[in-house]
Amino acid sequence: MLKMMYFCLVVVFYIGSTSWAHPVALDQNQSNDGQGSGESINQDIRRQLTNEGWYLTGHFAYKLTTERQSWWAGRYACQSMGGELAVHGVRDNALRWEIARELYVGPVWIGLWVGLDDLETDMKWKWTDGSLATDNEIVWSPQEPNGGRRENCGEMWGEDRRFTMNDNPCCDDRYALCERKIVS
């Protein structure tokens, strides 16, 4: 247990110093050969992301990590794929349902890590993009959040819990929902 706590502390120190992942640029004035329309690049990038398993909707792409891991390891995995733990897609109720129904795997009760935590101040929830989470952005499951200083990372529960949010210990193993911004 002590070894796992040490691992989690090392990872949070490392990830805490990184910034939001760079968006995939869809420059309307470029093409693959430098002379065609930007629409060609837009479609090429969208096709590439789709082939890599990303689900595209609006200006964002979403993907689950392939392994269950701690919140910090999940965040690092998302960053290594050019993204971040999902923020924008879980703020909007309709979009959250769309993404979850498209990507959700496994038993309906297993949660997915999202970009939500209260690591700095207990019960002051923040998104990993640095913004404070408001009550109208988070649909908590009944009696949540309830973990105090033990449960500081946000997960989205499965369909049986209507894709609501839960606070959970950050070192528990979950799949992570990654989000990648696509700038058009």
pTM of the model: 0.80
Domain boundaries, the chain: 21-183
**Residue 7's pLDDT band (boundaries 50, 70, 90)?**
very low
**Among candidates 86, 83, 69, 90, which has minimal Cα distance to 11?**
69
Share in percent of the chain as helix, strand, coil (round to 5): 35, 20, 45
**Residue 93's pLDDT band (boundaries 50, 70, 90)?**
confident
**Residue 109's pLDDT band (boundaries 50, 70, 90)?**
low
**CB-based contact 26:184 (threshold 8 Å):** yes
pLDDT tens, position by position, 26-56: 433 333 344 444 566 688 888 999 999 999 9
Q: Which two tokens stand for residue 103?
A: 């990507």
Determine the topology of domain 21-183 in CATH: Mannose-Binding Protein A; Chain A (3.10.100)
Other Cβ atoms within 10 Å of 137 Cβ, number: 17
Give the residues across from 24 on adjacent strands.
182
Residue scoring higher pLDDT (158 or 169): 169
